[in-house]
Amino acid sequence: MRGDRIWMATGNRHKYREAQEVMAEMGIALAHMEINRVEIQADDLADIAEYSLKQVRDDGRRIVVEDAGIFIDCYGGFPGPYSAYVLNTINLQGILKLMDSIRGRDASFQSVVAYRDGDCIRHFRGVVKGRIADCIRGTGGFGYDPIFIPDEGDGRTFGEMNAEEKNALSHRARAFRSLGEWLTDSE
């Protein structure tokens, strides 16, 4: 395995910490890079992540950028790529209100990790299926975690889990694990 670290460009420390733990389990060091960038609006997370990646100057370092969102099935995948904007405008309470009297509460978290090493650009996806909770539960994690119940869990929201428990199931952990496996295989 190549010894030098990979840099994750993100303004979100929660995302960085989760990704760092997953990569550390695979023996890969992930460092944090703050960036100021324009985030485009697009329907596919991969387009957003790759656009963000291209805004990070190529100085020879290996870079990853991740874009993620929550997709609510009964609303055709809303808010998806607009998850940050929707959370900032209507909050978790607003999302729960949208789900009032809705029976099918299926949703998924999706993540795309875009990786660059010189001319090589690859992306890796991770998905976790679950449902929107009836109320806000837990104070762990960030963003939509207190209202998302993963199907493969024990009924708790991500907000009620510790970092290790969330990382065992999460979209982000899955995407970063795929990156880690690809890196390991290509060494």
Q: Which residue is nearest to ligand ITT (CB)?
A: 143
Residue 141 as a binder of ligand ITT (CB under 6 A): the answer is yes
Stretch of 54-62, 92-100, 115-123, 137-145 contacting ligand ITT, by CB under 6 A: 137-145
Is 98 exposed, middle or buried, given 0-12, 13-18 or 19+ CB atoms closer than 10 A?
middle
CB of 111 to ligand ITT, least distance (A): 7
Active-site residue flag, 67: yes
Q: By rule CB under 6 A, what count of residues binds ligand ITT?
A: 20
How many Cβ atoms sit within 10 Å of the Cβ of residue 81? 22
By CB under 6 A, is residue 63 in contact with ligand ITT?
A: no
Bridge partners of 62?
Answer: 6
Look up tokens 């998806």; give the residue. Answer: 80
CA 39 to chain centre: 15
Tell me: does residue 46 bind ligand ITT (CB under 6 A): no
Q: Which of 4, 44, 58, 67 is catalytic?
A: 67
- Token digits for 159? 């907000």
Q: 106-125: which residues touch ligand ITT (CB under 6 A)?
A: 109
Judged by CB, which is closer to ligand ITT: 134, or 184? 134
Give me the 5-44 binding string for ligand ITT, x by CB under 6 A, dash otherwise: -----xxx--x-----------------------x-----
Q: Which residues bind ligand ITT (CB under 6 A)?
A: 10-12, 15, 39, 66-69, 83-84, 87, 109, 141-145, 170, 172
Q: Cite the active site residues.
A: 67
